[in-house]
Amino acid sequence: MELDAVTLALRLTNAVLSQLSTVLQIQAVYIFSDSEIVLNWIKHRPLTSVGARIFNRLMEIGKITQHLQSVGLQVHFAYIATQYNTADCATRESWPSTFNALNYDAGFENEHQGVSTIEKEAEIVKTLEEPREVLLTKKDLNKFQTIDLFVSLRKYSLQNATRVVALVLRHIIVPATRVNARRNFPIKLSALLEEVPTQNTPQLSGKEIATTGKMLVKQHQLATITPAILKSLQHLNIKFDPNDLLRCLGRLAKSDLDEESKTPLIVLQNSWLAEP
C-alpha cells in the first residue's frame, strides 16, 4: 500500500505541475513517506527479485521522476517520521485529538513550520539520477528457454558459418519480399531482416554479413544468457535494444565511437562466437 501511495503521489504531482507550470515557477518536489522499505526499493531500483507488480510500480516511479527532472525540477524522496504523516493519525492512540487539530488545507508550511523544518528531521533518500530500465519481465524470461539453432555450425569457422547463415537468410528474405508485393496481409519478418535490401548478385553484401552477425548473436543470447547470468552482470548496465539484442550501456556512450560501437553486444566468454 505504501508503494501504491508513492506512485499515486507522483502521478498527482505530475498532473498538478503540468497545470501550474504556466503560472508558477516550481523548482523542487518532495515526496515524503514513512515506509523505509518502499524508500529502499526506490533507492536501489531496478530490482528484479521483488515480483512483477512491485517491479512495474518502481519502473513507473522512475519514469515519472525522469520526466520531472527533464523539465528542470529537482525530485526528492524522503523518509519522514510517522508523527508527521497525517494519513496515519488513525493508527495512533491519540488520534481523535490529533485528527481534530489537523488543518489539511494549510499543508506542511503552516502545519509544521515549513518544509525546511521537516527536511532537518527527514532523511532525503539519494536515488539514481537516471533510473535504469527493466532488464527482464516475467514475459521476457520465456525467451531464454530456447534451443541453439546454430549448434551444428560450431564445427566450422565463424566466417564460414556466417556466410552459410547469410545465404539462408537471403533465401528467406527474397521470396517473402516477392510474396508481400502481391498480398494484402504481408508476411511479417524480423526487424533485423527488414533492414536488409534484396540482392540479385551471387556475392553477399556487407549489410547482409552485418545483419547475419547480429542474428547469430541474438540466437546465442536467447540460448545461453539466463536471468542468473544477467543478474551477475548488472554492473555492465545491460539493456535490450529495439531489436531485442542485449547490449552493454557503459561509459562508451560518451565516446566518439559510432553508435554500434558505443553499445557493444553481449557475448559470453569462451563461447563459440567469442573465439578469435
Closest CA to 268 of 234, 227, 221: 221
The structural domains of the chain, with segments of one domain joined by +, span 1-119, 151-262
122-156: b (≥16 Cβ within 10 Å) or e = beebebeeebeebbbeeeeeeebeeeeebeebeee
Those residues of the chain that have pLDDT short of 50 are: 107, 109-115, 117-122, 127-138, 141-145
Q: Which pTM value belongs to this model?
A: 0.46
CB within 8 Å of 273: residues ≥ 6 apart: 158, 216, 217, 220, 267
Question: Rounded to an integer, what distance in angstroms lies between the CA atom of residue 48 and that of residue 134?
Answer: 8
> Which fold is adopted by the domain 1-119?
Nucleotidyltransferase; domain 5 (3.30.420)
pLDDT of residue 23: 76
Question: Rounded to an integer, what distance in angstroms lies between the CA atom of residue 133 and that of residue 210?
Answer: 27
pLDDT of residue 236: 82
- Tens digit of pLDDT for each residue in 90-105? 555 555 555 556 555 5
CB within 8 Å of 269: residues ≥ 6 apart: none
- Residue for cell digits 519514469? 63
